[in-house]
DNA sequence: AAAACGATTGAACAATTGTTCATATAATAC
DNA sequence: GTATTATATGAACAATTGTTCAATCGTTTT
């Protein structure tokens, strides 16, 4: 008979002590989801380029971003919307132009750490 | 008439100086792809949990990982394969068990930075 | 007014993703 | 030998993704 409430109880563990210890240190489901989302924000080449460009210049408009990244305004605009939803960029509308900038200052460190990792290979 | 070889030339830029400056600093396509891949490795909750668990314990076998993360062996095994392909984890086969550990030591910093970011909210 | 411009959007599409289920492999136990 | 265990894998599936294309919305210019 199975113990109710946990389809995988500790009795089956190979190294019980380790399992219990790590389980105790585990973060919440929500935390891991948010963590995954944060990484996902930078997990597409186009978005990575946008973030990198905005690390070099405080503000850039959509068409200049597409000049830099060499893709269509539409593709950039769609990705900027994603980044906006993830609260990574904000924008400033001036006339018909939209100037985007990084919203989340922590993202700078995270991105730089990723870049360091890539370039150390 | 359009200038050949570049479907988006600099003459269309709004802030030419910025565009040229950022273009100069741009990394290669390959770099951005690798960067995106690195972030993608951690962009799924299950993979994030695996990496977190392996940050707490040097080595964990598949069934203990699924005990900790509370999902099926199969799901874990599939994700471990992904992480293996991305060179983030390695494994040590002992009898019928496979002990997984982090392969890329830089990933520790990157992951910790992400966690710090999440927890500072 | 019309035309041009920068940006946004929705629909469509192929491509990728993560899980489940069933099966397979390979090592150990009986 | 058979049975059991730990892990791996392939197929199937729904869900998500990123781009393109066309159309649209505001704003500015003429």
Distance (Å) from CA B57 to C1' C11? 48
Sheet of A97-102, strand order: A60-61, A97-102, A89-94
Confidence of residue A40 (pLDDT cuts 50, 70, 90): very high
Question: Whose structure tokens read 């600099």?
Answer: B10
d(CA B107, CA B113): 10
Copy the structure tokens of residue B108. Answer: 């520790």
Question: Which residues of A fall within a CB distance of 8 Å from B15?
Answer: 60-61, 64
- A114 to chain B, any CB pair closer than 8 A? The answer is yes
pLDDT grade, residue A9 (50/70/90)? low
Query: CA B58, B64, B66: angle at the middle one, nearest 5?
Result: 115
DSSP single-letter state for residue A65: H
Question: How many helices and strands in chain B, by DSSP H and E?
Answer: 6, 3
Which pLDDT value is given to residue B95? 95
Proximity of residue A81 CB to strand C below 7 A: yes
* pLDDT at residue A12 in the model: 75
Residue B120's pLDDT is what?
Answer: 82
pTM: 0.90
Å from B75 (CA) to D13 (C1')? 15
Long-range contacts of B95-99, Cβ-Cβ distance < 8 Å, separation of 24 or more: B97/A14, B97/B61, B97/B62, B98/B61, B98/B62, B99/B59, B99/B60, B99/B61
pLDDT at residue A13, rounded to an integer: 86
User: What percent of chain A lies above the pLDDT cut of 70?
Assistant: 90
Per-residue DSSP letter, A10: G
What is the residue-wise DSSP string for A89-103?
A: EEEEEETTEEEEEE-
Taking CA atoms, B90 is separated from A121, B80, B82, B101, in Å, by 17, 9, 11, 6
Ordered DSSP codes for A37-62: HHHHHT-SHHHHHHHHHHHHSS-EEH
**A51-to-A24, A73, B96, B110 alpha-carbon distances in Å:** 36, 16, 45, 17
Tens digit of pLDDT for each residue in B56-78?
999 999 999 999 999 999 999 99
Of residues B2 and A28, more confidently modeled = A28
pLDDT at A27 over 60: yes
In Å, what is the separation between the CA of B121 and the C1' of C14? 37
Please report the pLDDT score of residue B105 as a whole number.
84
Among B8, B38, B121, the residue with its CB nearest the CB of A117 is: B38
Contact B52, A65 (CB under 8 A): no
Q: Does A37 contact strand D, using a CB cutoff of 7 Å?
A: no
Angle at B79 between CA B74 and CA B80, to 5 degrees: 95
Predicted pLDDT at B10: 66
- Which of B6, B32, B61 should be substituted to probe chain A, the one whose Cβ sees the most A Cβ atoms within 10 Å? B32
Q: How far is A108 from chain B (nearest CA, A)?
A: 11
Q: How far is CA B80 from CA A12, A61, B49, B65, B84, in A?
A: 20, 41, 11, 10, 6
pLDDT grade for A120, boundaries at 50, 70 and 90: confident
CB B91 within 8 A of CB B84: yes
Instruction: Select the residue from B13, B35, B79 to test the A interface by mutation, using most A Cβ atoms within 10 A.
Output: B35
The pLDDT assigned to B38 comes to 95
Q: For chain B, which residues score pLDDT lower than 50?
A: 1-8
- Taking only the tens place, the pLDDT of each residue in A58-116 is 999 999 999 999 999 999 999 999 999 999 999 999 999 999 999 988 899 999 999 99
């Amino acid at each position: 008979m199975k113990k109710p409430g946990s389809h995988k109880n500790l009795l089956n563990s190979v190294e019980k002590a380790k399992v219990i210890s790590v389980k105790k240190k585990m973060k919440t489901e929500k935390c891991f989801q948010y963590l995954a989302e944060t990484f996902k924000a930078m997990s597409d080449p186009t978005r990575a380029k946008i973030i990198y460009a905005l690390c070099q210049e405080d503000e850039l408009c959509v068409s200049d971003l597409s000049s830099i990244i060499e893709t269509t305004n539409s593709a950039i605009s769609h990705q900027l919307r994603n980044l906006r939803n993830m609260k990574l960029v904000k924008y400033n509308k001036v006339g018909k132009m939209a100037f985007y900038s990084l919203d989340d200052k922590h993202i700078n460190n995270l991105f730089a750490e990723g870049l360091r990792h890539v370039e150390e290979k």
